[in-house]
Structure 1
Amino acid sequence: MERFKETLLESGYTEKISMAIVNGILQAIALNLFWRPGHIYASGVTGLGQIIVTLTENISGMILPMGIVLYCLNVPLFVLAWFKISKKFTIFTMFSVFMTSFFIEIIPVTTLSDDPIICAIFGGAACGLGIGLALKGGLSSGGLDIVSMTIRKATGKNVGSINIIFNACIILASGFLFGWPFAFYSAFSIFVNGKVVDMVYTRQKKMQIMIVTKHPDLVIEEVHSRIRRGITIIKHAEGAFNRNEETILISVITRDQIPLLHSAMHHSDPKAFVSISENVTIMGNFYDPMM
């Protein structure tokens, strides 16, 4: 039993499981305490599930369980992820979506406010926080993430237009079902959701680093021991002031890896000159641990 616990800790499974539970609770809070009472639609597959539940209730009077609908919509995507991404990724994604569906069913729909703007803001913030924490823990919340990752793995390209088109359809549907003011509220909530995800999850933000050092071998060894990134070496550089020969190392890291870079430089060459440029654009393959 002790060995099993050690294996979980070493592999980071406990963090993934914890983040899946936290994400599920926050997603359920966003949906049942803000979005559904405020007639606000979520983005992605969750929004599609809301449309199906609403249309079914309006047409036949039957109320479908939102959690079960959400999980069923993700099942075909699980199959896609199993064959096109990885089995380990699929298992954790299935668990993450199950936690979300479970908490959606056990947390009752409660009206905390009738103000749709308040519902849009707090619903989007709660959902964004949950997704950001899940991504930070190396999890996917399912839905369109699986489609985007499949295309990115196959082509090396990000396909943000899929999310934009799908969410535009969700917003238009909310306008037809509840009136156009609610379409704008839904769009605003999706915007808040994205902003909160960006604040919490920083791994997708690329930073270019340039290191000028007299000890390139030590720096490269320390950086590679902490960060899985390629490094370009430019030899025989010369300082204009003292004419000393230096070596320039260039690499691209993500924002969350900056503390690891600080540690590597402290142990290898504390006197090196390090320049960091934010939000660089990357063309070509870039290692993504989520893949």
Structure 2
Amino acid sequence: MKEQLIKYGLIDVMYVTIGILFCGFALKGFLIPNHFFDGGVTGVSLLLHELYHWNIGYVIVVVNMPLVLMAAFQVNKKFAFKTLLGIVGLALCLLFVPYPQITSDKLLVSIFGGAFMGIGIGMAMRGGYALDGVEVLALYTGKRVSFTISEIILGINIVIFLIAAVKLGLPTALYSILTYYSASRAINFVVEGIEEFTGVTIISGQSELIKEELVMRLGRGITVYKGERGFLKDSFNISAPCDIVFTVVTRLELRKLKNIVHDLDPKAFVFTNVIKETAGGVLSRKARH
């Protein structure tokens, strides 16, 4: 058990180290030289750096420090400590690693600066670290208002980009919004990867055949709900019992599943939804830290 903990600890450190290097590359190679911004606390730090010319390494630590303390009470002390280590590591990277400026093209800076930033934050998240404390602030605020965490983060970022638009011009703010979007998409891909799970619900008159194919051919577990199908406009009083099949697949398996269902019943009703967290059952996934 001790060896496993050491192994996972080293893997976490590797993840956050790679994440810090990517974030440093995004900031010093793309965003800072071109006066661009990102969302969250990093965006606030970049805004303060631009307005008052304070050293970005020190600003990131100072701005995040209240949120690290908040994380100790809102989440747990271990997470707060790991977040502090990640932020300090990013600050040291910005202070001492000499990244070159890659480009001055605004579109390239927006897309690739955001992408590298997202990769860095996502890698740190896979290691259980956080390089931006805005999620902690959203969690704290969400307990006191009726908005979701995503809505709160969006609101915080809107304020940041509005200030940037007033102080530094609308074009800079618009390009920075593109940077934030690129970063958020990269984070989702790094954290979820190609193993992102999708829930699939299938309503079909050929449910018996579909159940057998999903289990025996695709190798997936299924859950069956008892329902009724029919209730059409021209024959509302006519219905028939049916099995509603639900299963969970990765994004790589989704197309194969749809092809299987279509071959068995071209008129089957299929809808999907992204699943963020899974645990238990027969579903398997590589361990994520």
Q: Aligning the two structures, in what range does the TM-score lie when normalised by the shorter sequence?
A: 0.5 to 0.7
Return 16-25 or 200-209, whichever deviates more: 200-209
Cα RMSD for the two superposed structures: 4.1
Task: Quote how far apart the aligned CAs of 1:167 are.
Answer: 1.4
* CA 1:142–1:188: 2 relative to 1, 3 Å: closer
Hey, what does 1:27 align to over in structure 2? Answer: 23
What stretches of structure 1 of length at least 5 have no aligned partner? Answer: 58-63, 217-222, 224-230, 236-246, 259-275
Contact 1:36–1:109 (CA under 8 A) maintained in structure 2: no
Task: Quote how far apart the aligned CAs of 1:186 are.
Answer: 0.6
Hey, what does 2:131 align to over in structure 1? Answer: 141
Hey, what does 1:76 align to over in structure 2? Answer: 66
Hey, what does 1:86 align to over in structure 2? Answer: 76
What stretches of structure 2 of length at least 5 have no aligned partner? Answer: 202-209, 216-220, 227-242, 254-269, 280-286
Which residue of 51, 55, 58 corresponds with 2:51?
55
What are the within-5 Å matches in structure 2 for residues 1-291 of structure 1? 6-9=4-7, 12-57=8-53, 64-108=54-98, 110-150=100-140, 158-202=148-192, 207-208=198-199, 278-280=272-274
- Rounded to whole Å, the distance in 1 between the matches of 2:58 and 2:3 is 31
SS for the counterpart of 2:199 is: strand
Contact 1:113–1:119 (CA under 8 A) maintained in structure 2: yes
What amino acid does structure 2 have at the position aligned with 1:77?
Answer: L
Task: Quote how far apart the aligned CAs of 1:110 are.
Answer: 3.7
State how many pairs are aligned: 241
Task: Quote how far apart the aligned CAs of 1:176 are.
Answer: 2.5
* CA 1:179–1:134: 2 relative to 1, 3 Å: same
Contact 1:37–1:110 (CA under 8 A) maintained in structure 2: no
- Rounded to whole Å, the distance in 1 between the matches of 2:91 and 2:123 is 17
What amino acid does structure 2 have at the position aligned with 1:56?
Answer: Y
SS for the counterpart of 2:192 is: coil
Task: Quote how far apart the aligned CAs of 1:174 are.
Answer: 2.2
Contact 1:206–1:278 (CA under 8 A) maintained in structure 2: no
TM-score by length of 2: 0.67
Contact 1:93–1:140 (CA under 8 A) maintained in structure 2: yes
